[in-house]
Amino acid sequence: MIVTSAVRHAAAGSAALLFVLPVPAAVASPAGPVPRAVSSVGEPTPPARRHVDPARLGRKGTQVQRLAGAPEMPSVSALSWVVADASTGEVLAARNAHRRLPPASTLKTLFALTALPHHGPSERHTVADAELEGIGAGSSLVGVKEGYTYKVSDLWNGVFLSSGNDAVHVLAEMNGGWESMTRQMQEKARSLGAEDTHVVSPDGYDAPGQVSSAYDLAVFGRAGLQDPAFARYCSTSYADFPAGSWSYGIANTNRLLTGADGVERYPGLLGIKNGYTSNAGNTLVSAARRGDRTLVVSVMNPQEGGGFAVYEEARSLLDWGFEAAGRVEPVGSLAPVRAKAAADPGTRTVSVAREKPAAAAAPGRAAGAGAEAVAPQAARSTVAEAEGPSAGLPLALVASACAAALALWGWRRRTARRA
C-alpha cells in the first residue's frame, strides 16, 4: 500500500508538472514563419524566373507585354525611353531601348558611379589652373575658381545640382586625368552590362562618337540608387557653394525635383540627372518611390512639347509604371547577364539577372539599411530561443519527483520496521 501510494503521488505530481510547465516550442518560436534572413545556410531564394526574350529590347518601336487590367501606354514623343523596376531590374516597357544617341549631361551619372568611391566627401582640394583647361564653350558651370579650396562634397554638389562641367574637370583630374577618366568610365559601363555607351568627354559635352542609350542610362540610374553618396547628391534640391570667404546658393536643375519654372514636382522623386545640348536635345534619368516600389525611367530627346517636355514625358511614364506594376510581363532586364560563381559544389548558382539586389537607397540612407533592419529581428529570435526553457527541463523535474517519492517510501518502510 505504501508503495502504491508513493507511486500514485509521484505520477500525479509528474503529470501536474507537465501541465503547468509551458511548451518549449511555443515559447522559442516567434509567431508566424521564421524569416529567411535568420538562417545562415545557403542564400535567399531569388524572385521566380520569368521567361524574357533577351533580343526583345533590341527591336524597334515600343515593347510592352500587358496583362489583363494593365493601363494603356501614354503618348510619348521621345526617340528612346525605358521604364524599369529599380529593385529587380525588370524592364516593364521600352521604346528603342538600345538606340544610340548623344546623352548630354545624363552621362554624368556614369562619371559619378566611376569617380565617387575614390575620395571622401570631407577631403579638401585646391584647384590648379590646368584643371580648368579644355572646358567646352557654352558649358554649364557652377563657378569653380583656380586657387580656391573646396571640399569634395562641394564639387559633387556642383556636378549634380548645377551640372557644372568645371566641377567635373577638377574631379577628373583628381582621379587620374581626363583621358584616364574616359577609360575608367568605359570600363565601368561594360562592367554594368551597358554596351551602347561610348565615352569621349566625361562631362557629357557633345563630342564626335559620344553616345549612350535609354537602356544604358537606366542601368546607370539604377546602380546609382544603390550607392548612398550618389543617392544623397542626386536628391539634393538646394546647396551652398563656397566662393572663398562667402558662399552662394545653387539649385538642382532637375525640375521634377524642385518644381521650378512651372514644372510640378513629382511625388516621391529620388532625383538623378537631367541634361541638354543642342545635339542631344533634352535627356533625363529619373527615379521615384511609391510604397515599397521604386521605378527608374530614362527619356532621350522628346520631339514635341518644347524644352520641358522631357519632364512631363518622364512623369507620364512613372505614373504608368506604378499603375502597371504587376499587370505586365517584363520585356527585358537591366541586370547584366552573367552567373554568380558558386562558393562550393553544393551552392546554388543564381543568374544576376534574376537576383534581387538590396533595396534602392533612400536619399541620405545607406543601401544596406534593409539588411541592418533585419539584424535586430534575427538577434531577438536568437535571444528568445536562448532564454526559453529547454526541452529537457520537464523530464528532469519528473525524474526528481519520482526520486523524491521513492526516497519517501524507503524512509516510511524503515520507520515501520523500527516500530
Q: Exposure string (b/e) for 226-262, b if CB count within 10 Å is 16 or more?
A: bbbbbbbbbbbbebebbeeeeeeebebbbbbbbeeee
pLDDT in tens, 307-341: 999 999 999 999 999 999 899 999 999 998 653 33
pLDDT in tens, 69-97: 999 999 999 999 999 999 999 999 999 99
* R_g of the chain computed on alpha carbons: 32
pLDDT over 70 percentage in the chain: 68
Q: Give the pLDDT score at 412.
A: 57
Task: Return the bridge partners of 65, or none.
Answer: 329
The confidence band for 404, taking pLDDT boundaries of 50, 70 and 90, is: low
Of the candidates 254, 270, 258, the one whose C-alpha atom is nearest the C-alpha of residue 86 is 270
**Structure-model confidence comparison of residues 345 and 411, the more confident one:** 411
Residue 342 has pLDDT above 80, yes or no: no
Average pLDDT, integer, range 42-71: 76
Q: Which residue among the candidates 14, 80, 87, 108 is catalytic per the annotation?
A: 108
Cell numbers placing 37: 534572413
Residue 281 has pLDDT above 70, yes or no: yes
Q: Which residue among the candidates 87, 105, 140, 298 is catalytic per the annotation?
A: 105
Residue 296 has pLDDT above 60, yes or no: yes
For 293, the enclosing helix (H) or strand (E) is strand 293-300
Residue 34 has pLDDT above 80, yes or no: no
Indicate the DSSP class of residue 57: G
Average pLDDT, integer, range 170-193: 97
Mark residue 100 as left, alpha or beta (left: phi above 0; alpha: psi -120 to 50; beta: remaining): beta
Is 273 catalytic? The answer is no
Q: Give the pLDDT score at 55.
A: 81
Is 60 catalytic? The answer is no
Q: Which residue among the candidates 140, 162, 163, 201 is catalytic per the annotation?
A: 163
Q: What is the Cα–Cα distance from 50 to 58, expressed in whole angstroms?
A: 19
Q: What is the Cα–Cα distance from 147 to 243, expressed in whole angstroms?
A: 11
Q: What is the Cα–Cα distance from 143 to 141, expressed in whole angstroms?
A: 6
Task: Return the bridge partners of 248, or none.
Answer: 241
Q: Give the pLDDT score at 372.
A: 32
State the average pLDDT for the chain. Answer: 80
Number of H helices, E strands in the chain: 12, 12
Of the candidates 331, 316, 224, the one whose C-alpha atom is nearest the C-alpha of residue 271 is 224
Is 105 catalytic? The answer is yes
Average pLDDT, integer, range 17-42: 41
